[in-house]
Amino acid sequence: MSGIALFGGTFDPPHLGHRRLLETAIAAVIPDKTIVMPDRIPPHKQSDRIADTADRLEMCRIAFSEIPTVTVSDWELGREGKSYSIYTVRHLRELYPEGRLWFVMGSDMLLSFEKWFCWEELLTLCTPLCLARCTADAMAALAQSERLSKLTGINDAAKIVQASPLEISSTAVREMLYRGDLPDEYLDSEVLGYIREHGLYKNH
Ligand code: ATP
């Protein structure tokens, strides 16, 4: 296979679950190019517990840029106005009109896909490439893919890749760091080094 893969997220911080997802997705479709794009955090979700934009971007570079085909993009971070995936996907479609555009995501995202802004248009422009975040989601993700196909008439509206999940979230990693625990099982050692060096996720 080939095409472009997009992997968006808050990455606050990027953890080994993200890495497992991305590497599994790349192995499944072998894209020509993979774009990791941290998204802008909407103001209503911001709090002083969230790392700032430059830190999230740099942690993504540390966590992902050595994976073959990957580049980390600041395109969404630099945009004004509302941050919806459809804008990013339309932009990438203009840049790369040929071939498939895979949208790499965890099962929580696929399972709530119909709530996304312009979700039907999204499915005409890209194909969700999904890995279950927990064992319980594996069947649900397959069922959701079939459901999206039925609703839109698009064959194989989403691709589900099978791999054992790494059950971790950035929220859980932040909580461990705030408690003073060491989440080294879930973080790349260089990302952990960056967090330490820059004093991120600390209770003041
Ligand atoms: P938070 O806990 O702050 O909400 P998160 O861990 O869910 O963060 P995001 O940056 O919001 O991470 O996620 C980016 C993408 O990675 C989403 O598509 C999400 O479903 C996926 N993802 C996150 N963690 C995992 C995981 N452990 N396994 C598979 N996919 C994951």
User: Where in the sequence is the domain holding 120, given as residue range(s)?
Assistant: 3-197
Asked whether residue 204 is assigned to any structural domain, the reply reads: no
CATH number at residue 77: 3.40.50.620
pTM: 0.95
* 158 inside domain: yes
CB of 131 sitting under 6 A from ligand 1: yes
Indicate the number of domains in the chain. Answer: 1
150 phi/psi in degrees, rounded to 5 = -65, -45
Domain membership of residue 95 (yes or no) is yes
Cα 90 to averaged position of ligand 1 atoms, centre (Å) = 22
**Is residue 11 one of the residues assigned to a domain?**
yes
Provide φ and ψ at 27, rounded to 5°. -65, -30
| Residue nearest ligand 1's atom 13 by CA | 9
Q: What is the model's pLDDT at position 83?
A: 82
Query: For ligand 1, is residue 18 a contact (CB within 6 Å)?
Result: yes
Strands 159-161 and 127-131: parallel
Question: Ligand 1, closest atom to CA 169?
Answer: 6
The sign of the CA dihedral 89, 104, 175, 137 is positive
The answer for residues whose C-beta is within 8 angstroms of residue 37's C-beta and 6 or more apart is 6, 7, 8, 72, 73, 75, 76, 88
Q: Which atom of ligand 1 is nearest to the CA of 7?
A: 15
Q: Which atom of ligand 1 is nearest to the CA of 17?
A: 27
pLDDT for position 1? 61
Taking CA atoms only, the protein residue closest to ligand 1 atom 14 is 9
The pLDDT profile of the chain, 204 residues, written as one tens digit per residue, is 679 999 999 999 999 999 999 999 999 999 999 999 999 876 556 555 577 899 999 999 999 999 999 999 999 999 887 789 999 999 999 999 999 999 999 999 999 999 999 999 999 999 999 999 998 899 999 999 999 999 999 999 999 999 999 999 999 999 999 999 999 999 999 999 999 999 999 876
Q: Would you say residue 182 lies in a domain?
A: yes
Chain Cα centroid distance, residue 190 = 19
Residues 6+ apart with CB under 8 A from 150: none
User: Is any atom of ligand 1 closer than 6 Å to the C-beta of 17?
Assistant: yes
**Nearest residue (CA) to ligand 1, atom 6:** 169
* CB of 128 sitting under 6 A from ligand 1: no
Instruction: Give every CB contact of residue 106 below 8 A, 6+ residues apart in sequence.
Output: 17, 21, 130, 131, 132, 133
Asked if residue 136 belongs to a domain, the reply is: yes
- 35 found inside a domain: yes
- 202 within some domain: no
Distance CA 141, CA 62 (A): 30
